[in-house]
Amino acid sequence: MRYSIFSVNDHHPRLPRTVRQLYEQVNAQCELAEALGYDTFFCAEHHFHEYGVVPDPAVMLSALAQRTNRIRLGTAISILTFHDPRRIAETYSMVDMMSGGRLVFGVGSGYLAHEFAGYDRDPKEKRDRFNENLEIVKRLMSGESFSYQGRFSRSEKVVLNVLPHEGRVPPMYVAVLARDAAYHVGRQANCIFTVPYASCKDFADIGRMLEEYRKGRADAGLGPDDDDHVFTLHTHVAGSDDQAREQAKAAYDLYVDTRLYAKKHEYEDIIANGICLFGSVDTVADKMRQLHGMGIRHVATMHNFGALEPRLVERSMTLFAREVMPRLLSASSTRARTSGSAR
């Protein structure tokens, strides 16, 4: 299993915390994540609203690269439909170079109406624009020199002057919200990044989304790969389920209140449908075992939401790393020994 951190960076202007203080908290939490052994620190891209105040993840990841040495640094996601693909390719090649090859490149087409309006993009074009831009980004980051005449952009013999670290294209994950989109991403032989909160109706439905993705990969002639997917879940680990509710409910409901154009699943709703990792160590470890049983091998945990106190965010991160992760490792080792004995 891989365990990562995802920070959406929601900001709430009515509260005392400033944007700069949020950035400082994110910096500290990334450093802690590295010390605790998390795999990747993912950062969201959002525009023109308090739902997220990192409009350019490349800037944030470049800062985090200077504060860390081992943890991978990811976009979740870079919205390719809003930007010139040449600029995206050269910017993130530079991030990968500066971090020593630690970039995990999540990409997507975007889904918030006000962001499309702000960038003067037609949402009806987003899939075609995304596909075209993704092809250009991949070719440029691989070092190819080419001319390109597309529907949305054209290039005359362009080649990057900065390539990713050691000339290796960083791992790329395509974001999806719906199950049918998961199939198509798999069919295109791309890796997948998803937040089940936005796409699944209950906890069991998470496994069904992975199944749809696997069907797509199978139809593309590809087998399953433990490193081809990232599933993100809101997370708060505490001493008990009641303590988790006491600590995280108000912050989570505030976070949900900033969400636009989506049904607002508040704390009690998400506890009922199960699409979260909220509760005691026992509760969260049990849900992680269920996710593993579904075939999920990379979970990104979202601990920082709704201006939750930094000490509680860091305590949750620590409990997950020191109490939940070892239980999954122990259970996996036990199953491996049992399987070996049976043979």
Q: What share of the chain is helix, strand, coil (3-state, %, to 5)?
A: 50, 20, 30
Q: What is the pLDDT of residue 340?
A: 52
Position 143 scores a pLDDT of 97
**Across the strands, what pairs with 230?**
193
Q: Render each residue's pLDDT in the chain as its tens digit; 343 residues.
A: 999 999 999 999 999 999 999 999 999 999 999 999 999 999 999 999 988 999 999 999 999 999 999 999 999 999 999 999 999 999 999 999 999 999 999 999 999 999 999 999 999 999 999 999 999 999 999 999 999 999 999 989 999 999 999 999 999 999 998 888 999 999 999 999 999 988 899 999 999 999 999 999 999 999 989 999 999 999 999 999 999 999 999 999 999 987 765 667 899 999 999 999 999 999 999 999 999 999 999 999 999 999 999 999 999 999 999 999 999 876 655 454 444 544 4
What confidence score (pLDDT) does residue 336 get?
45
3-state secondary structure of 42: strand
Half-sphere exposure of 81 (CA within 13 A, CB side): 26
pLDDT for 198 equals: 81
Neighbouring residues of 81: CB distance < 8 A, sequence distance ≥ 6: 109, 110, 116, 119, 121, 125, 126, 129, 130, 133
Domain boundaries, the chain: 2-342
How many whole angstroms separate alpha carbon 141 and alpha carbon 167? Answer: 8
The CATH code belonging to domain 2-342 is 3.20.20.30
Q: Find out whether 232 and 302 touch, Cβ atoms under 8 Å.
A: yes
Residue 73, beta-bridge partner list? 41, 103
